[in-house]
């Protein structure tokens, strides 16, 4: 696509591997901006032209190091992308210094801080939740009493449902409060935006918000009654484009929110999906997002969609792969075009003659908390012709944590079938075949 250097900030784990591989297919020179303690696995080493060791909390030094490395290589940066929520603020600072397109830091501060995000939604008349912020237990109890139980406790800046906790009464709130407040701050301690938010010694705060159960709005044989949908899109020059949808029904309204299923294309009724698109576009404009791809999440209720959050990045985990299979849209290419200023943003592929696109479902499989000793059945599942991806997040020898102290499953299995009924049956089969041994 271009001849310069693409700067990439990304963790080097298996869920990021497909997106990094696709970036390397689209751009000839990938330079990773990596923390000093980042280990580069062999598969990633093959994709990278160079690795620049940086400290995100010292952006000026990181920018100088990056400039020096580019100068020694005799080239310039075409663009910069982040495959990490906590890398966005750092990449924005680098982009501003190097004159590259990226979401500005002031916009990111509003889009990352969940209280400022919800305030913007409410100000623009978008369907969202009642909320307040608290730094002390008495403040949280007062907010919860005003909203009415159950309520959800959330860190202001963390993502991936880390330390997100539903409580049903004052006693449960008191028991969970310190865990969410302190734990939520710790999981994003390396994010420059956290340090900017709490500069001057400001104490951490958490979000107390209304619980929206949501209802699944389509037929399914799976026992997942809670309705949720995500939207993948782009915004360039003020133009918001919706590129893909994923249904993400959940088993219950808490107390934690492990994502167990991603399903695409959406099975929501057309009228509700049109509402979802309108709300997503309104949320992007309310936050002032620009020059980015975005990921929006909503609960689906009998009266329409209710906004949860919007992120100025591509959806994580298997979203990139399932969007390509189910919609024919390449989110990585869209992100790269925006980052490098290339004309046009890829949209969903036009219908073509031949078999229809498959029903794509990704099932998150979870081991019990403890030391993971073995994962059995992976070879059998991988050999099935309709299984298109098996991603192992945690390998034997690691300690498995569960929500709210983990933001991912142990393994995900992606299937692509002719219809959703077949895909659901195949997912159940995979769940039975993959077995985790933990102690």
- Mean pLDDT along residues 65-80: 88
Compute the distance between CA of residue 402 and CA of residue 372 in angstroms, rounded to an integer: 12
Q: Which residue has the higher pLDDT, 243 or 354?
A: 243
pLDDT band at 260 (very low <50, low <70, confident <90, very high): very high
CATH number at residue 180: 3.30.1490.20
DSSP, res 326 = H
Return the structure tokens found at 234: 């782009």
- Percent of the chain scoring above 90 in pLDDT: 77
Checking if the pLDDT of 89 tops 50, the result is yes
- Mean pLDDT along residues 333-342: 94
Compute the distance between CA of residue 82 and CA of residue 101 in angstroms, rounded to an integer: 12
Q: Which residue has the higher pLDDT, 345 or 156?
A: 156
pLDDT band at 1 (very low <50, low <70, confident <90, very high): very low
pLDDT band at 252 (very low <50, low <70, confident <90, very high): confident
pLDDT tens digits for 2-59? 468 999 999 899 899 999 999 999 999 999 999 888 899 999 999 999 999 999 888 8
Phi-psi map region of 189: left, alpha, beta (phi>0 left; psi -120 to 50 alpha): alpha
292 close to 103: Cβ distance less than 8 angstroms: yes
In a domain, 254, yes or no: yes
Shared-domain flag, residues 258 and 343: yes
Domain extent, residue 317, equals 212-357
108 close to 180: Cβ distance less than 8 angstroms: no
**pLDDT of 59:** 87
Checking if the pLDDT of 82 tops 80, the result is yes
Checking if the pLDDT of 290 tops 60, the result is yes
Which range among 191-195, 352-356, 419-423 shows the weakest confidence by mean pLDDT?
352-356
> Which phi and psi (to 5°) does residue 312 adopt?
-90, 55
Shared-domain flag, residues 309 and 263: yes
In a domain, 20, yes or no: yes
Give the pTM: 0.93
Compute the distance between CA of residue 355 and CA of residue 348 in angstroms, rounded to an integer: 16
Shared-domain flag, residues 232 and 322: yes
In a domain, 109, yes or no: no
Shared-domain flag, residues 82 and 178: no
**pLDDT of 345:** 62
Compute the distance between CA of residue 212 and CA of residue 229 in angstroms, rounded to an integer: 13
In a domain, 118, yes or no: no
Place of tokens 């995100």: 56
Name residue 414's beta-bridge partners: 362, 389
Final residue before a domain boundary, out of 190, 210, 230: 210
Query: Angle 424-349-30 (CA atoms, 0-180°, nearest 5)?
Result: 95
CATH number at residue 373: 3.30.470.20
Q: Is 42 exposed, middle or buried (0-12, 13-18, 19+ CB in 10 A)?
A: exposed
Shared-domain flag, residues 341 and 222: yes
Q: Which residue has the higher pLDDT, 252 or 363?
A: 363
314 close to 232: Cβ distance less than 8 angstroms: yes
Checking if the pLDDT of 275 tops 80, the result is yes
Checking if the pLDDT of 194 tops 70, the result is no
**pLDDT of 86:** 84
pLDDT band at 159 (very low <50, low <70, confident <90, very high): confident
346 close to 337: Cβ distance less than 8 angstroms: yes
Task: Identify the H or E element spanning 173.
Answer: helix 170-186
In a domain, 378, yes or no: yes
Compute the distance between CA of residue 320 and CA of residue 388 in angstroms, rounded to an integer: 13
In a domain, 124, yes or no: no
Return the structure tokens found at 184: 């939520």
**pLDDT of 350:** 54
- Mean pLDDT along residues 296-314: 96
Shared-domain flag, residues 184 and 314: no
Structural domain count, the chain: 4
Whole-Å CA distances, 174 to 69, 104, 254, 286: 51, 37, 17, 34
- Mean pLDDT along residues 308-323: 93
For residue 40, whether the previous peptide bond is cis, meaning omega lies within 30 degrees of 0, is no
DSSP 225-242: -B-EEEEEEEEETTEEEE
Shared-domain flag, residues 218 and 189: no
Which range among 58-67, 76-85, 245-254, 336-345 shows the weakest confidence by mean pLDDT?
336-345
Final residue before a domain boundary, out of 57, 86, 102: 102
Checking if the pLDDT of 424 tops 60, the result is yes
Shared-domain flag, residues 158 and 94: no
Final residue before a domain boundary, out of 158, 188, 210: 210
From the DSSP assignment, how many helices (H) and strands (E) are in the chain? 14, 19
Share the mean pLDDT of the chain.
91
Q: Are strands 30-35 and 5-9 parallel, antiparallel or unpaired?
A: parallel
Checking if the pLDDT of 179 tops 60, the result is yes
Shared-domain flag, residues 362 and 254: no
DSSP 367-396: PPSEEEEEEESHHHHHTSTTEEEEEESS-T
Shared-domain flag, residues 221 and 347: yes
Closest CA to 87 of 137, 26, 16, 23: 16
**pLDDT of 174:** 97
Please report how many Cα atoms fall inside a 13 Å half-sphere around the Cα of residue 301, on the Cβ side.
15
E-strand stretches of 250-319: 261-264, 292-301, 304-311
Checking if the pLDDT of 73 tops 90, the result is no
């Amino acid at each position: 696509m271009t001849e310069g250097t693409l700067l990439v900030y990304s963790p080097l784990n298996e869920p990021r591997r497909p997106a990094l591989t696709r970036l390397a297919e689209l751009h000839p020179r990938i330079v990773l901006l990596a923390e000093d303690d980042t280990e580069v696995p062999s598969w990633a080493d093959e994709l990278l032209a160079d690795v620049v060791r940086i400290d995100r909390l010292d952006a000026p030094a990181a920018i100088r190091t990056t400039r020096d490395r580019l100068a020694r290589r005799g080239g310039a940066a075409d663009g910069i992308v982040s495959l990490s929520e906590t890398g966005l603020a750092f990449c924005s600072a680098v982009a501003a210094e190097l004159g590259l397109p990226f979401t500005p830091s002031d916009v990111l501060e509003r889009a990352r801080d969940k209280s400022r995000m919800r305030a913007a939604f409410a100000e623009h008349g978008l369907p969202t939740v009642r909320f307040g912020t608290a730094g002390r237990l008495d403040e949280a109890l007062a907010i919860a009493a005003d909203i009415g139980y159950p309520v959800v406790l959330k860190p202001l800046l963390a993502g991936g449902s880390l330390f997100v906790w539903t409580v049903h009464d004052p006693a449960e709130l008191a028991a969970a409060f310190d865990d969410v407040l302190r734990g939520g701050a710790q999981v994003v301690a390396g994010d420059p935006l956290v340090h900017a938010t709490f500069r001057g010694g400001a104490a951490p705060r958490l979000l107390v918000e209304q619980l929206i159960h949501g209802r699944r709005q389509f037929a399914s044989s799976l026992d997942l009654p809670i309705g949720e949908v995500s939207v993948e899109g782009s915004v360039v020059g003020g133009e918001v484009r919706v590129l893909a949808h994923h249904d993400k029904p959940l088993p219950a309204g808490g107390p934690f929110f492990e994502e167990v299923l991603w399903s695409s294309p959406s099975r929501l009724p057309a009228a509700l999906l049109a509402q979802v698109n309108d709300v997503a576009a309104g949320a992007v404009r309310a936050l002032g997002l620009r020059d980015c791809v975005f990921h929006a999440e909503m609960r689906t209720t009998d009266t329409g969609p209710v906004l949860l959050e919007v992120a100025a990045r591509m959806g994580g985990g298997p979203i990139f792969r399932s969007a390509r299979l189910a919609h024919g849209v390449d989110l990585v290419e869209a992100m790269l075009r925006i980052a490098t200023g290339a004309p046009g943003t890829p949209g969903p592929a036009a219908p073509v003659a031949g078999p229809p696109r498959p029903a794509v479902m990704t099932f998150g499989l979870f081991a019990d908390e403890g030391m993971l000793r073995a994962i059995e059945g992976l070879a059998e599942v991988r050999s099935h012709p309709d299984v298109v991806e098996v991603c192992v997040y945690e390998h034997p020898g690691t300690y498995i944590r569960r929500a709210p102290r983990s933001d991912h499953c142990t393994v995900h299995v992606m299937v692509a079938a002719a219809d959703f009924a077949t895909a659901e049956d195949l997912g159940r089969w995979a769940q039975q075949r993959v077995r985790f041994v933990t102690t």
